[in-house]
Structure 1
């Protein structure tokens, strides 16, 4: 009888394990049967498909084995290659190699994206007047998901802790003239069904839009914990109200950090679209923190509807890397405004042209886009040859061709940056000189 009883228990356990739920944003609460948001462990290594669009590649996360701009852990790479299964297609092999060895293009790419080719003169005319460009105000809004699922572990620690650390580092180094705002959503109640209404209505600007004060901002940030549900649409709608209060000379940059899709019945895609249509200068950046495919789809739709950008981040270091690149991009925009007020037209044109050439062509540290492409291509080809020596590649010629085609596409996109910016630089140079000439002729006629 004891044996029979043990067999029944064993079969029951096996059935329970076999019927385990797939990761979703809501699961049944074992205590009362009510649904609540699940805290998921997503530390298992998953090899995502390698991006194929050049702009998506330039925004990719650096390879998991990269240890700097071009350095990587060679011993660990050898181990990973040995562990790779045989019989993979060349496309699947490339997915693995990119995951391990992808170049970090973000900083250079985003600086080129923000490149300001205008050439405003700051030359004193005979009547003592100086034409100066008007400086714009920059507002930075950070929307932080405080749903219960942000308590999950990812490489590096707990998602909420990593997100808060990255946001602190990001806002701390914003330009001194920029204003900051921090919204928390889903941070009250709990992720149980009985508290859903409270949680879904908890959208709060914990740091009101104002000049950045590190102490007050950290106090506001520290009080946020992974608590409830995900009222993503409502959080964006609250931000829209704030953006509508700004004028046309204000640039509003919105960062949405979320690890899950809307769970409060709102329409975040429509909300993002309405935010982008406020009439103010508004840029929306959506960061999917270790999201599943369903969530990624919704966040991508939000970015598309708002003409914004979407970025996958898989770990705390990815989020920190992205936000640091954003810091440099915002700083560069402000630097360019200041450059306009201190340089003459030709000096500004020459300086911009030289800087653009370095960002595109430089083949040694600090690398330009073409230099980074060259280094990544070299790493991928070497890894492919190593796999071939291990007998894990069926057609090395085809694999090398795929890698070369990837590099060619990136080189063409980099060169397109150069052509486009060079054309704009020359156009703006001519326009600025024409403005000076017209001003001079105006005074002569008087």
Structure 2
């Protein structure tokens, strides 16, 4: 029910004139391009995760990019297709929706999930020790490249109180197979990044929910006004 409320209500919110005045902090999107994003649902039913994620990015970013400077880090499809695959694609800039959408459209999911290294690169791009900023991690899985996201979260909280990390868990699945509910939601190990830095953790299971989650985490006060609702936690 909370997903329906999140997607349905936020989809109706307009872009408010002058909203960019409240979006003074740069934001970095960290996008999961690892091999699991090419997977489909249980029993090979449904669209690959990457297809739905692309749809959501196309829908959400044009409005958000008009309000704040955005940048992009992608992990997964480059390097040797294992764990040396984290790449800064775009430093924060205005009207970044076109370049970001093009990068997401063009990636070929492969490789491991180096989400800790990717978030750190995004934070460094924001110069997180010197000024406030926001990182939004979109991930469908766990850290598989030896990183320790919770240790990094504690470091951020200690050294950079102006840095906020939001985590969107997209079709995250639990650790244990459930024959009664094989598509049961899980929680990303990166949740601590949000909890320790004052960000939000949001699960998304559909294109509409992912659009809503991007709006909540990236849209400043325009879309963020509803985030006090405990159903979004």
Q: Which TM-score bucket, shorter chain as reference?
A: 0.7 to 0.9
- The reply on whether 1:269 has 2:150 as its aligned counterpart is yes
**Does the CA contact (< 8 Å) of 2:149 and 2:192 recur in 1?**
no
Which residue does the alignment assign to 1:144? 31
Distance 1:166 1:135 in 2: 24
Cα distance change of structure 1 residues 188 and 332 upon mapping to structure 2, 3 Å threshold: closer
Structure 1: which 4+ aligned runs deviate by more than 6 Å? none
Distance 1:135 1:150 in 2: 33
Q: Secondary structure at the match of 2:208?
A: helix
Which residue does the alignment assign to 1:221? 104
Distance 1:236 1:276 in 2: 14
Distance 2:86 2:7 in 1: 35
Match of 2:77 among 157, 170, 187: 187
Q: Secondary structure at the match of 2:187?
A: helix
Max Rg structure: 1
Distance 1:229 1:247 in 2: 31
Normalised by the size of structure 2, how large is the TM-score? 0.73
Which residue does the alignment assign to 1:302? 193
Query: Which structure has greater helix proportion?
Result: 1
Distance 2:3 2:23 in 1: 31
**Does the CA contact (< 8 Å) of 2:200 and 2:217 recur in 1?**
no
Once the two structures are superposed, what CA deviation does each residue of 1:272-301 show, in whole Å capped at 9, x if it has no partner?
333344536322211111112246252333
User: Alpha-carbon deviation of 1:315?
Assistant: 2.2
Q: How many corresponding residue pairs?
A: 207
Which residue does the alignment assign to 2:171? 290
Unaligned 5+ residue runs, structure 2? 14-20, 176-185
Which residue does the alignment assign to 2:59? 169
- The reply on whether 1:259 has 2:140 as its aligned counterpart is yes
Which residue does the alignment assign to 1:61? 3
Q: Secondary structure at the match of 1:256?
A: strand
Match of 1:238 among 110, 121, 146: 121
Once the two structures are superposed, what CA deviation does each residue of 1:225-248 show, in whole Å capped at 9, x if it has no partner?
211111111111111212226854
User: Alpha-carbon deviation of 1:143?
Assistant: 0.6
Match of 2:213 among 322, 325, 337: 322
**Does the CA contact (< 8 Å) of 2:28 and 2:135 recur in 1?**
yes
Cα distance change of structure 1 residues 282 and 292 upon mapping to structure 2, 3 Å threshold: same
Distance 1:302 1:179 in 2: 22
Cα distance change of structure 1 residues 324 and 135 upon mapping to structure 2, 3 Å threshold: closer
Distance 1:260 1:272 in 2: 17
Normalised by the size of structure 1, how large is the TM-score? 0.41
Once the two structures are superposed, what CA deviation does each residue of 1:323-376 show, in whole Å capped at 9, x if it has no partner?
24456544368xxxxxxxxxxxxxxxxxxxxxx9xx9xxxxxxxxx8xxxxxxx
Cα distance change of structure 1 residues 280 and 175 upon mapping to structure 2, 3 Å threshold: farther
Distance 2:141 2:37 in 1: 9
Unaligned 5+ residue runs, structure 1? 1-56, 63-102, 112-133, 190-194, 334-355, 360-368, 370-409, 414-446
Once the two structures are superposed, what CA deviation does each residue of 1:36-82 show, in whole Å capped at 9, x if it has no partner?
xxxxxxxxxxxxxxxxxxxxx8xx211xxxxxxxxxxxxxxxxxxxx
**Does the CA contact (< 8 Å) of 2:169 and 2:204 recur in 1?**
yes
Distance 1:240 1:104 in 2: 27
* Higher RCO, 1 vs 2 (CA within 8 Å, ≥6 residues apart): 2
- The reply on whether 1:205 has 2:96 as its aligned counterpart is no
**Mapping for residues 378-417 of structure 1, pairs under 5 Å:** none
